[in-house]
Structure 1
Amino acid sequence: MNYDRYYTYDMVNGPGLRVTLFVTGCVHACPGCHNESLWDRKAGKPFTAEVQEELLQACADHDGLSLSGGDPLHPANRDAILALCQAFKARYPEKNIWLWTGYTLREVEQLQNLKYIDTLIDGRYEAANTSRLPWRGSSNQHLISPIQS
């Protein structure tokens, strides 16, 4: 998996003070996407064990971890995201993970990754259906918490 950047003090991508990781790779190619530069899964930098540890350490005094992109559930990202989520929950069981994906819950409900996600924002971005709802770019997207597949 590759990533573009991460923020260690983010108050936009979920509730409270968060660490937010932006991964690369997205198959949806939604017209009007705000992160079109993250579609190529080979863009960015390798997500190494060292980067994961930096992220986890940064979460110590924060409310949770947010995963965005690109798409964290792109097939090339799923294993690394699963490992990151497992490590996060092992270290911080009381904290939450939010994840944004262009897939619908129905399309990914079989993934083991969802066992570790507290809040899922699902669905492709639709520029014609912009939304004022918190944490969603378009009105077709769902904020699902807790996840029940």
Structure 2
Amino acid sequence: MNDKTVRLAGLTPESVVDGLGLRFVIWAQGCRHRCPGCHSPFTWDFAGGRPYDMDEIINQVKRNPVLKGVTFSGGDPMEQAGKFAYLAGEIKKLGLDVWCYTGYTFEHILQNMDSRAGWRGFLENIDVLVDGRFEQDQRDLNLAFRGSRNQRIIDVPASLRSNRVTLLQL
């Protein structure tokens, strides 16, 4: 893959279940967590999916004037943080917000953001992070925008400013 491609499981041009408002969803390919009960185990294999041109994805996002934002799901977008940092930066330039789902906790990302390639740049372009592995024994179908009670919906800019986890008020 060249610099402007990213390996993805797919794209969902319009969704209302993957964050607030109408969202474009980008499904990362590759996940180390392999959570039992995961709703998208086809995204686990790092060699699965296919390469997508990142600038073409941005053009698709631009063509929909009613989008509120873009959501990165997967797989785990943190596994391709450098690529997703580029996408997130370009999406932010469009005035859209960025949500990201990850099996890593916010604390783990903070502790490792300078040792894992792309993590700092990616985190700094995320507005909302839904963190934590999916835990089947904590599954709750009544939760908004998350699958299990251990997962948190984090306001990333506020958390970075205060140096502590600030949950998004829905």
Superimposed CA distance per residue, residues 61-92 of structure 1 (whole angstroms, 9 cap, x where no aligned partner)? 31100110000011xx1111000011111222
Q: Is 2:19 the counterpart of 1:14? A: yes
Q: Is 2:52 the counterpart of 1:26? A: no
Q: Write the distance in 1 (CA, Å) between the matches of 2:136 and 2:64.
A: 32
Q: Secondary structure of 2:77's match?
A: coil
Match of 1:81 in 2: 84
Shift of 1:114: 1.1
Q: Report the AA paired with residue 125 of structure 1.
A: F
Q: Write the distance in 2 (CA, Å) between the matches of 1:112 and 1:53.
A: 18
Match of 2:107 in 1: 106
Q: Report runs of 4+ in structure 1 exceeding 6 Å deviation.
A: none
Mark the CA change 1:49 to 1:96 in structure 2 (over 3 Å): closer, same or farther: closer
Between Structure 1 and Structure 2, whose CA radius of gyration is higher? 2
Asked if 1 retains the 8 angstrom alpha-carbon contact of 2:58 and 2:91, the reply is no
Q: Is 2:143 the counterpart of 1:133? A: yes
Mark the CA change 1:53 to 1:96 in structure 2 (over 3 Å): closer, same or farther: closer
Shift of 1:49: 3.4
Asked if 2 retains the 8 angstrom alpha-carbon contact of 1:20 and 1:65, the reply is yes
Asked if 2 retains the 8 angstrom alpha-carbon contact of 1:14 and 1:66, the reply is yes
Asked if 2 retains the 8 angstrom alpha-carbon contact of 1:4 and 1:38, the reply is yes
Shift of 1:50: 4.5
Q: Which is bigger in relative contact order (C-alpha 8 A, separation at least 6)?
A: 1
User: What is the TM-score with the length of structure 2 in the denominator?
Assistant: 0.79
Segments of structure 1 that go 5 or more residues without pairing to the other structure are none
Match of 1:122 in 2: 131
Mark the CA change 1:114 to 1:82 in structure 2 (over 3 Å): closer, same or farther: same
Shift of 1:136: 1.0
Shift of 1:53: 3.0
Aligned length: 145
Q: Write the distance in 2 (CA, Å) between the matches of 1:27 and 1:55.
A: 29
Q: Write the distance in 2 (CA, Å) between the matches of 1:49 and 1:99.
A: 17
Superimposed CA distance per residue, residues 6-26 of structure 1 (whole angstroms, 9 cap, x where no aligned partner)? 111111101111101111100
RMSD: 1.5
Work out the percentage of aligned pairs sharing the same amino acid.
Answer: 31
Q: Write the distance in 2 (CA, Å) between the matches of 1:30 and 1:137.
A: 11
Shift of 1:119: 0.5
Q: Secondary structure of 2:65's match?
A: helix
Q: Secondary structure of 1:116's match?
A: coil
Mark the CA change 1:84 to 1:50 in structure 2 (over 3 Å): closer, same or farther: closer
User: What is the TM-score with the length of structure 1 in the denominator?
Assistant: 0.90
Segments of structure 2 that go 5 or more residues without pairing to the other structure are 1-5, 114-119, 161-170
Q: Write the distance in 2 (CA, Å) between the matches of 1:70 and 1:3.
A: 9
